Amino acid sequence: MNKIAKYNCIENLKKEGNPIIIVTLVEEAEAVLNSCRELGINVTAFCDSESRKTKDKFCGLDVVHTPALKKHYPDARFIIANPNIKDCSRQLSELGYDEIYSSLEILEKYDVNKHTHKWPVPYMAQKITVAKSTHSSYFDEKKTFLRSIDIMITTKCSMNCANCCNLMQFYVDAKNTDEKIIEAVDTLSSNVDYIGEFRIIGGEPLMNKDWWKIINNILEKDSNRKILVYTNGTICPKDEHLESFKGKNVNFYITDYGKLSKNVEKMEEGLKRYGIGYMRKPADNWVDCSNVRQHKRSVARLKQVFKECCAKTYYTLLNGRLYTCPFIANAANLKALPDNKADYVDLFSEKKENLKNRIRRLVNMDAFFPACDFCDGRPNDPTTAKEYAGKGFIKAAIQAPGKLPFKEYK
Ligand code: SF4
Ligand code: SF4
């Protein structure tokens, strides 16, 4: 099939011509800009689908809201930094552009150690490796490739955010999910061609006392695996646990909720002490997507909600099942929607000979899942989304006084 985005770009982009725009403000975008400057490619601006990200300059350049690109740049050349090259290139093509390139060739020889970045070197190095693999897989349709897998090791959280998009606010009986995690990870790994990043999540993953053992077990099977631990900075990891990650591909992503993240400083000190890469980011506002309710949308509307969704490749492993996003994973786990086998792949009960195909079909879904009808939608920008039923931008991490009720399907 003809790809919208092209691989060969350096020689084209070095020539005088239409303005050059780097697509989306992902962390990797800074590396793409650095590399362009090194190669003699003159970048004009960045663009991003989230309007709130376009207010300030990024690395000294303007950031244009993607839906408004044509107004500012009727003709332009694009370099996609975002790992989700498929969605980005489709969006640009629908806007009427055709000079769209992957950043793969540009990042091919990029040396992360030779440049300064907003984020620590080990974290950037991992991001760039994953982005390069994701773009490679875009050009190789025969392979089943997961940019990342969210491994839910607990549904317990040390916070109780009323609008948690992973639906923790509904778990009355939250528990660890570690019993067969390693077996599930291995079954998944042996039935796909590549997994870019193994993201350890919850709830709050450090609520599971064995969190560090799980990580080490995942790495024991394959030390090339890349781990990213998503934490809210409320629990300080023990020194001996951090020490066990020394020299391994383990990075942390800390969401800083201000006063609520009461151990964030200590966590940061510990990570620095053991040379573990991390990113600490303030929570910002959220796009509300925390409701589970049926919308009875038409097929066309379901396709639209899925098309606009920014979470549809946040593949999630929960209790031996592979889902396409954390919303479906947790709504199904809570029984907050009717059980539908089209929404997931059960890694333990699916026939071995069918597994590869079932996973491939789930990963490459282009239309929608039945569960999407129970979701308000999760667009990058709720102000421009055509099919979205949530509250829009909301304050992050408002704490609920207790667990919230929901309709259960028996
Ligand atoms: S959003 Fe809040 S409740 Fe949900 S996992 Fe993060 S900290 Fe926990
Ligand atoms: S249920 Fe569908 S629309 Fe909602 S987050 Fe998941 S993939 Fe996106």
Which tens digit of pLDDT belongs to each residue from 172-213?
999 999 679 999 999 999 999 999 999 999 999 999 999 999
Q: What b/e sequence results for 107-144 when a residue is b if at least 16 CB atoms lie within 10 Å of its CB, and e otherwise?
A: beebebeebebebbebbbbbbbbbbbbbbebbeeeeeb
Find residue 255's DSSP bridge partners.
281
- 410 pLDDT exceeds 90? no
Cα separation, 262 vs 241, in Å, equals 19
- Distance between Cα 254 and ligand 1 center (Å): 12
Can you tell me which residue has the tokens 């303030």?
A: 282
Mean pLDDT of 81-108: 96
pLDDT band at residue 141 under the 50/70/90 scheme: confident
Q: Which of 151, 155, 157, 235 to probe ligand 1 with, by most ligand atoms within 8 A of CB?
A: 157
- 1 pLDDT exceeds 70? no
Q: What is the pLDDT of residues 9-68, one digit of tens each?
A: 999 999 999 999 999 999 999 999 999 999 999 999 999 999 999 999 999 999 999 999
Q: Please answer whether residues 150 and 314 qualify as being in contact, where contact means their C-beta atoms are separated by less than 8 angstroms.
A: yes
- 407 pLDDT exceeds 80? yes
Atom of ligand 2 nearest to the CA of 165: 5
3-state secondary structure of 124: helix
- Distance between Cα 67 and ligand 2 center (Å): 21
Q: Which ligand is nearest to the CA of 174?
A: 1
Find out whether the peptide bond into 275 is cis, omega within 30 degrees of 0. Answer: no
- Distance between Cα 308 and ligand 2 center (Å): 9
Q: Please answer whether residues 7 and 106 qualify as being in contact, where contact means their C-beta atoms are separated by less than 8 angstroms.
A: no
Lowest mean pLDDT among 39-48, 151-160, 275-284, 333-342: 275-284
Can you tell me which residue has the tokens 């383990």?
A: 250
Cα separation, 100 vs 89, in Å, equals 7
| CB distance 329 to ligand 1 below 6 Å | no
Taking alpha carbons only, the member of 344, 363, 326 closest to residue 202 is: 326
Atom of ligand 1 nearest to the CA of 169: 3
- φ and ψ at residue 66, rounded to 5 degrees: -55, -45
Q: What is the pLDDT of residues 347-379, one digit of tens each?
A: 999 999 999 999 999 999 999 999 999 999 999
| CB distance 318 to ligand 1 below 6 Å | no
CA 144 remoteness from chain centre: 17
Q: Which protein residue's CA is at the shortest distance from atom 2 of ligand 2?
A: 372
Q: Which ligand is nearest to the CA of 398?
A: 1
Q: Which ligand is nearest to the CA of 161?
A: 1
Give the chain's end-to-end CA distance (angstroms, integer): 43
Q: What residues contact residue 207 under an 8 Å CB cut-off, 6+ apart?
A: 154, 156, 157, 158, 176, 235
Q: Which protein residue's CA is at the shortest distance from atom 4 of ligand 1?
A: 164
Q: What is the mean pLDDT of the chain?
A: 96
| CB distance 232 to ligand 1 below 6 Å | yes
CATH tag, 10-121: 3.40.50.720
Q: Which of 288, 306, 334, 373 to probe ligand 2 with, by most ligand atoms within 8 A of CB?
A: 306
Domain 142-394 classification at class level: alpha beta
Q: Which ligand is nearest to the CA of 390?
A: 2
pLDDT at 208: 97
Q: Where are the domains of the chain?
A: 10-121, 142-394
Q: What is the pLDDT of residues 223-241, one digit of tens each?
A: 999 999 999 999 999 999 9
Taking alpha carbons only, the member of 79, 143, 84 closest to residue 110 is: 79
- 145 pLDDT exceeds 70? yes
